Amino acid sequence: METFAHIVVGGGSAGAAAAARLARESGGRVLLLEAGHSHRHPLLDMPPGIFKMIKGSKFMRYHRSEPQSHLEGRVHDIPQGHVLGGGSSVNAQVYMRGRPSDYDAWDECLRGSNDGVGWGWNDVLPYFVGMEGNNRLAGDLHGTDGPVLVSDPGHIDDMSRWFVQAVQHLGAPYNTDFNGPTQQGVGFYQFTNRAGRRSSSAYAFLAPLEHDPSLTVRLQSEVTRVLIEQDRAVGVEYHDGSGLHCVRSEGDVLLAAGALVTPKILMLSGIGPEDHLRDHGIGPVCPLAGVGANLIDHPEVPITAFANGPYGYFRQGDGWRMLRNGLQFKLFGSGPVTSAGVEAGAFVNPSDADADPTIQAFCVPIVYLDRDALDEVEDSYGLTVTTVVVKPKSRGTVRLRSGDPADMPRISPNLLRHPDDMDEMILGQRYFRRAFTTAPLAERIREIVIPTADDDDTLRAHCKRFVKTNYHPAGTARMGADGDPLAVLDARMRVRGIDGLRVCDMSAVPDINAGNTNAPAMMLGARCADLVLGRL
């Protein structure tokens, strides 16, 4: 049986960061197992390529929710990256870290049992700064030499500019840096790309080690369970095209398969809610009620309008426009191909402009809907603004469908189930719907298609019909204080009751950060590697 110093399960944002750091600095061989495909593909490298794959792609795994009773029985997609680099290889590349209070709250919930490991803002900031290679910002809050290339948008559509100006007319301040002293305001996002090429975790962390014997990467290798002997993780079992294999670890096994699959692997390994495991014929090795509980995601709801002229990105990827834009990108490194299509956004609190933002918005200069709603609005020149509740109170679950590792997990996200989340979303929808009727955007809008009005009943029905994942599942194997019955991990990211087993992806977080989760996931992976190496 093959033996490695450490094994990392999942080559996404967290797993790539962890595996690379361990391979460089542990002095032993590291194995990285990724269930998905290679990240080297033109559509993945180009910022807008993901929009070509919205209806389906081998680089995405489409989980399906359980019927959601509070959404009139709706079943909706939960896409996740199925590729080396994970979400960082298929996302819209928005670079966001969250606000200091997010991490100070983590630290507070672990206080008294953190074993000397802090999770506050001052503890995690050096990891963000160290990973960041920013092309504009520097100083205490930003790095310029890190492997994750962060840049201003390579192209800004007029629709995005008009959106930013309209939201300023609503009273929001212009924000030049959403990762700066405050999130509040409207402006242009920064992105994990440079000169029109995606800077995924696969490129940033793994590519420099491509020929280094200290790191072995195996693709299309689906881990089925962790091997446990005498309450210690000693390896994993995985399946690839040639059959079932077992590999051993002399050190730690790190789970980084994402907040939907990491709890599935734990439960298949006998770690999880005892009765649930027995229901599926799995003997409990380590009963932990919190595995698969506490599923958190940012709920997202669109506002979509038709434009009264040929504005935005509609048809820019078709026919002669595609050839023109492709040539401009190839010859000059400029034009629409350098844009991820989500150049502008905002953080606002519709109830109290001086309080922490409750809503994040993304401006997309096309008619952009989830694939289960594409037929509801005709494809035309238009604009979509999606509103997101940044600190949702709703919690869902991940459970096994069966004891067969080939079966997808049963997922109930419960988006907008908590009444406070629905109330916040309605306020956010009403606020940004006003932007469509505010100059200079108003002069370019022909009709707001959805939602059709801004009264509470219309907005509530609209939210139930169109709410979707913001692609940020988190919290399903969370860290917590000693004595917390739902804490799966301690502050050192170790699975309670099992030696040599850690979780280093967004499953581990006690609560979700305000904003996109790609950068926090990379931070978690790097910090977990340092914990394994004994540096914290």
Residue 415: C-alpha distances to residues 64, 112, 248, 405, 437 (Å): 13, 32, 39, 26, 28
The alpha carbon dihedral of 99, 162, 342, 142 has a sign of negative
Phi, psi of 468 (to 5 degrees): -145, 170
Distance CA 340, CA 150 (A): 13
Write the single-letter amino acid at 413: P
Contact at 8 Å (CB) between 288 and 532?
A: no
Distance CA 444, CA 309 (A): 7
Distance CA 528, CA 255 (A): 10
| Of 37, 76, 462, 472, catalytic | 472
Contact at 8 Å (CB) between 446 and 305?
A: yes
Residue 90: C-alpha distances to residues 13, 52, 164, 219, 475 (Å): 11, 11, 26, 16, 21
Going by C-alpha positions, the residue among 527, 514, 495, 505 that lies closest to residue 231 is 495
Q: Verify whether residue 82 is a known catalytic residue.
A: no
Task: Compute the 3-state secondary structure of the chain and give helix, strand, coil in percent, each to the nearest 5.
Answer: 30, 25, 45
Helix axes 100-110, 121-131, angle to 10 degrees: 130
HEC string of 51-99?
HHHCCCCCCEEEEEECCEHHHCCECCEEEEECECCHHHHCCCCECCCCC
Query: In sequence order, which residues have a C-beta less than 8 Å from that of residue 266 and are 6 or more positions away?
Result: 226, 255, 272, 288, 291, 292, 477, 488, 495, 503
Distance of CA 295 to the CA centre of its chain: 13
Largest CA distance in the chain: 69
CB atoms < 10 A from the CB of 368, how many? 22
CB atoms < 10 A from the CB of 113, how many? 15
Two tokens at 147?
């492997």
Two tokens at 227?
């091997």
Q: What is the DSSP string of 390-438?
A: SS----BEEE-S-S-TTSPPEEE--TT-SHHHHHHHHHHHHHHHHHHTS
Q: Show which residues are catalytic.
A: 472
